[in-house]
Amino acid sequence: MKRALRILAWTGGIILVLVALVTVAAFLFPWNWLRGPLDRRISDALGRGVAVDGPLSVHLGETLRIVADDVRIANTPWGSQPNMVQMKRFVIAIYLPALLKGRTVLPLLQLDEPDFDLEKNAKGEANWRFANPEAKAIKAATVPKKRTQVPIIEHLVVQHGRLTYKDPTNKIDFSSQVSTALGVAPEHQQLRLEGHGTFAAEPFHLTIDGGSILALRNKSQPYPVRIEARIGQTDGGVDGTVTQPLQLAGFDLAMHLAGNDMAEVFPIFGIPLPHTAPYSLQGRLAKQGNTWSFHDFAGRVGGSDLSGNVSLTQSKPRSKLTATVRSRTLDVKDLSGLLGIKPGHEQEATPPGRVLPNVPFNLDKLRAMDMDIHFTGERVLAPHLPMSDLKVAMKIDDGLAHIDLLSLDLARGDVAGSITLDGRKPQPTAEFRLKLSQIKLHDFLKATPFANETAGTMAGRVDLTGSGDSTAEIIGHSSGRLSIFMAGGSISDLIVRLIGLDVSKALGLIATKDKPVGVRCLVTDLDVHDGLATVSPMVLDTTVSDVTGKGRLNLADETLHLQLAGHPKQPSLFKVHSDVLVGGSFKHPSVGLNPAELGAQGAAAAALGALLTPFAAVLPFIDLGLGKNSPCRQLIEQAKTGSPPSSPPNQPD
């Protein structure tokens, strides 16, 4: 027993002596001698030069305190600055009893005048990624994966910090001030980052406010965050909490976004939105896996209200945007961005004297992201176009855009069909497949003096395919067919006012307020080949006269070359002097008489029979929806059998 006690006493004495020696050594040891070996060891581990150029001191005790001055970490060889990190002073205090139990408690972490120069090169390589296997192992062992693994930092002090970030691929050059806002207690400390610079060559300002480090590791409470940013004319921000901040998941954030043009978000978020009028949207931001969602949003874009849900799934080789959007009142001017035209700049997008926009398609946007969008517009505001109930489904897959016009109520009629734009090749191609049925002419003119005396039901079809770098080029090089029908109704003195009395005389169309001209049938068929639309045929059959036409429309230069001839059904007081020539351009047409030619005054029935016979083949091409007793259908059917067209009374609208 005595021997055992003696051994125990000797052991205890030795431990006490060792503790005393270490304590004395801690105060007397020249720690600066370790700077060289320490620098070399850390540099070898990271594969990057690390140095402490100033004094290094260590204070031993229950809390280990290390102070290093003039610390720096070298940049990569391609970096724009010599150092990636440098700071005037680095102070860390480690509570040793907690460390022995596997917990990291830092009573103090202080960074004085730290400079962080972070950047990417043209290849997308980042200077903060270390290639050494040992560095990767250190990162895997030290970077927390759970909130509870975040070190307990009782006091985090960042004084006069600076952070810069450069990314030439995305044209980002950002510089910010980093500091901690100290509260009355450690749990109330906040981290703030505020800075400015350029983003996509636009002025950039960013402010980030986050909770304390203690709040970051408290898994029972969501982590508070507030971000406000302005890039060019685009303002945005989020305010709320995150339950899994280290994994960037579990968001409960209110988000707002406003600006002059939605197209400006493309370089920011990579979302290829069209040009728009000024907008303002508010909603909730969430994230699940690789999918971000902006849900239950509402706001305005130009004169239109918008609401719905949008989600963005990040994936390779392209991300995908899925959206369901509604508008109770849609201003049709706000749709001009789909043609690449910025609202309010329509004249700039169209060459002088032209109608079709000639803005080049942005193929980079078309190929940047896949999309699946469903849009509904309940009420549509369009000058002189009574429209409502617009439903559109748009899909973009690897640069191939397909737009289905599911429904559009136009003048109590229907418009349906599809538009396809293939941007997978250097020069895009497009297909237009549209059908119009039961369109009421009266509705187009209800705000004019002619509404009560003008009626009729119209139908038509567009079937065109073309290629080019803009809408004007595609239409100007298209091939296919355009057809327009009108049956029933009447024309008042509209014709006289539009083309002049002499022209009306020439065509045998004299309308008065007492006796409108009844319209039995209007038929126009255009055979389009490489932008040249040939009229075959054009017939206007009224109760007093038939008008036939021939000629062409040049869709490339937007010019008209038409010749109209009148065929009175009864002897008229007005002699037909000549044919009527329609020329000029789509934007500025000209109508006049051709004194060099005598007007053809052949039998109206014969003229109709000759012209309508080839047109009978077009009838299956379009669903007139006018009924078997329609005068227009009767004319075509009679032309097919070769019998002379009769003149039944007009059918009511």
Hey, what are 290's tokens? 């690789």
d(CA 271, CA 319): 9
Contacts of 601 (CB under 8 A, 6+ apart): 567, 568, 576
Q: Which residue has the higher pLDDT, 235 or 624?
A: 235
The pLDDT-based confidence of 507 (bands split at 50, 70, 90) is: low
Give helix 133-142 / helix 35-46 axis angle, nearest 10°.
Answer: 100
The pLDDT-based confidence of 122 (bands split at 50, 70, 90) is: confident
pLDDT at 578 over 80: no
d(CA 154, CA 185): 9
Hey, what are 69's tokens? 């001055």
The per-residue pLDDT for 644 is 47
The per-residue pLDDT for 599 is 44
Q: Which residue has the higher pLDDT, 532 or 145?
A: 532
Contacts of 385 (CB under 8 A, 6+ apart): 332, 410, 411, 444
State the average pLDDT for the chain: 77
pLDDT at 572 over 60: no
The per-residue pLDDT for 510 is 62
Q: Where are the domains of the chain?
A: 28-221, 432-641
The pLDDT-based confidence of 428 (bands split at 50, 70, 90) is: very high
The pLDDT-based confidence of 16 (bands split at 50, 70, 90) is: very low
Strand positions, DSSP E, 411-495: 413-422, 429-440, 455-467, 479-491
28-71 tens-digit pLDDT: 455 666 667 766 777 777 778 888 888 888 887 888 888 889 98
Least confident of 15-19, 90-94, 166-170, 521-525: 15-19
The pLDDT-based confidence of 174 (bands split at 50, 70, 90) is: confident
Hey, what are 113's tokens? 């005048």
Cα distances (angstroms) measured from residue 599 to each of 99, 362, 419, 538, 603: 107, 50, 42, 16, 12
Q: Contact at 8 Å (CB) between 210 and 225? A: yes
d(CA 461, CA 415): 9
The per-residue pLDDT for 394 is 94
Q: Which residue has the higher pLDDT, 298 or 174?
A: 298
Cα distances (angstroms) measured from residue 351 to each of 296, 421, 559: 41, 22, 14
Kindly state the helix (H) or strand (E) to which residue 534 belongs, with its residue range.
strand 532-542
pLDDT at 309 over 70: yes
The pLDDT-based confidence of 532 (bands split at 50, 70, 90) is: very high
The per-residue pLDDT for 370 is 94
53 closest CA partner among 76, 83, 94: 83
Q: Which residue has the higher pLDDT, 14 or 391?
A: 391
The pLDDT-based confidence of 601 (bands split at 50, 70, 90) is: very low
pLDDT at 172 over 90: no
Q: What is the DSSP letter of 574?
A: S
Cis peptide bond upstream of 317, omega within 30: yes
Strand positions, DSSP E, 211-303: 223-231, 234-244, 249-259, 279-288, 291-301
Q: What is the mean pLDDT of residues 94-104?
A: 81
pLDDT at 478 over 90: yes
The per-residue pLDDT for 14 is 41
184-237 tens-digit pLDDT: 445 556 777 777 877 777 888 888 888 777 777 777 788 888 889 898 889 999
pTM of the model: 0.72
Cis peptide bond upstream of 386, omega within 30: no
- 255-290 in b/e form (b: 16+ CB < 10 A) is bbbbbebbbbbbbbebbbbbbbbebebebbbbbeee
The pLDDT-based confidence of 473 (bands split at 50, 70, 90) is: very high
The SS3 of residue 447 is: coil
pLDDT at 480 over 70: yes
| Share above pLDDT 90 across residues of the chain, in percent, rounded to a whole number | 22
The SS3 of residue 192 is: strand
370-416 tens-digit pLDDT: 999 999 999 988 877 788 899 999 999 999 999 998 888 888 888 89
The per-residue pLDDT for 508 is 63
314-372 tens-digit pLDDT: 888 889 999 999 999 998 888 877 766 777 766 667 788 888 888 888 888 888 899 99
Q: What is the mean pLDDT of residues 591-613?
A: 53
pLDDT at 614 over 70: no
The per-residue pLDDT for 239 is 93
Backbone torsion region of residue 498, taken as left when φ is above 0, otherwise alpha when ψ lies between -120 and 50, otherwise beta: alpha
Q: Contact at 8 Å (CB) between 440 and 481? A: no
431-442 tens-digit pLDDT: 999 998 888 877
d(CA 583, CA 503): 14
Task: Give me the amino acid identity at 279.
Answer: Y
Contacts of 118 (CB under 8 A, 6+ apart): 84, 126, 127, 128, 163, 164, 165, 166
Contacts of 439 (CB under 8 A, 6+ apart): 410, 411, 412, 413, 457, 458, 459, 460
Q: Which residue has the higher pLDDT, 136 or 643?
A: 136
The pLDDT-based confidence of 467 (bands split at 50, 70, 90) is: very high
d(CA 243, CA 218): 10
d(CA 547, CA 567): 6
